[in-house]
Structure 1
Amino acid sequence: MAEVVNLRTARKQKARAAREAQAEQNRTLFGRTKAEKQQSRAETELAARRLESHKRED
């Protein structure tokens, strides 16, 4: 037979897992030094400039 599951507990576990996933994402986004943020921003801008320079003009 199937195991009996307490729905309230399952819902709380699901919410806890979602909060933990969001916290992990926030740690990667906001837990960086100023130099790391500037480096990431510079890389993104460089990629955007390269893409823009390779576009054709019609």
Structure 2
Amino acid sequence: MESRPVNLRLARKAKARAAARAEANANAAAHGRTKGERAANAAKAARFEARLDGHRVETRLKDDRE
């Protein structure tokens, strides 16, 4: 039976990519936000921005008295 040579550099990089992907998935599960949470935060920010813009006081410059 003949074995094929293995490129150790490629094997090492593939192993590192798999480990990084596993760590990223674990971090996302532990610290990530769901789609609903992101949507709720976006809606809250939009409401805050609209309220802030609604309370804006517009001042007129001296040249705009017309």
Q: Give the TM bin, normalised by the shorter chain.
A: 0.5 to 0.7
In 2, distance between residues paired with 1:30 and 1:3? Answer: 42
TM-score by length of 2: 0.47
Q: Which structure has the bigger radius of gyration?
A: 2
Q: Which runs of 5+ in 2 are unaligned?
A: 38-66
Q: Give me the CA root mean square deviation.
A: 1.7
Q: Which runs of 5+ in 1 are unaligned?
A: 37-58
Q: Percent identity?
A: 56
Is the counterpart of residue 32 in structure 1 residue 58 in structure 2?
A: no
Question: Which has a greater percent of helix?
Answer: 1
TM-score by length of 1: 0.52
Find the counterpart in structure 2 of residue 4 from structure 1.
5
How many residues align? The count is 34
